[in-house]
Structure 1
């Protein structure tokens, strides 16, 4: 009963009344606790990512009719990236209702950026499958709010920013390498090292390769900018 109440309260927070609450329940189920009768949210995450992308592309075109593709692309990337999804998930308390296995709970899964971002995309898909594109669009626009209007024209994720830094100095793109993977299969921790042709490197850890690469790129950007200063 408590779980059902929490999920119902969460649905109210995102502003959607589910005709099929089982879709939302699946969207909030991590692979660490899934089973034959309890599917996880990975397939929904895949779909939700695409729905979010279409909504954001259309919203950005409406917000700035004069913007070029070159101006729109970095804004789009800033709005749909996993870090933004995770930030919105935190705002609506998604981590509190994620259904996780014991080991994932013990390792702080409710706060992990990758899990929160994936969960947010899965919730979007659940709304889409429950009530269609317009309902999903309404939820996305409400939750993203004025981010769409205020996103900086030069917003870039750290990997893009580091690549542009290297290109500006006539260096080839940075090289990313997985140097370690620890933890159980359902809750891995990746260590990624990024290297510039100049020999500068940085490492970072995260629960997904993508997040670790972004964190490593951000660390190296900070390092090279500090050294230059």
Structure 2
């Protein structure tokens, strides 16, 4: 079962990447922070699933394209497993197809490997808290390529979910209110982030309010 973030111990992370040098570099960077601990590393999704079962980490940090089992399938399997840790994708691939596939599989967030270390650290902590993380570059690229509609064209469901976020509801509470799964809530939120050009819940609420999509009572 995933452990919640606490003050008494570091967050336990499993890092999955098929390139040994990249994997070692990520581990070295994360090890610089007292609040983070890499408890296991894997070369593909199959190894990741075994590590999660054995180690019960707080978060999985995974690449997208890997042999044997890629990051999307790994994310989907973990998302379908009760008590599994959240998945944060860290990759060099920034195509709209890759991003949407990862989000729809249930990824808590999507970052590019050129992200600053502090951005990665903050994203890990946010993901463990249950927040969605979308790199600004990813949101901008999705919008620029026109694969996701602009902010004025948020779907009715996306507007509804952002409004509930503004009311202070968690993803789980929103799912119960709307009779949809928590992973579906996350997917709608991350798509709304991309359309609004933001990368967190607070900014999404502010942007939606500015555009007249929601009202704040």
Q: Which has the higher contact order (CA 8 A, sep 6+)?
A: 1
Structure 2 length normalisation: TM-score?
Answer: 0.31
The TM-score with structure 1 as length reference comes to 0.30
Q: Which protein is bigger by CA-based radius of gyration?
A: 1
- The answer to which structure has the higher helix fraction is 1
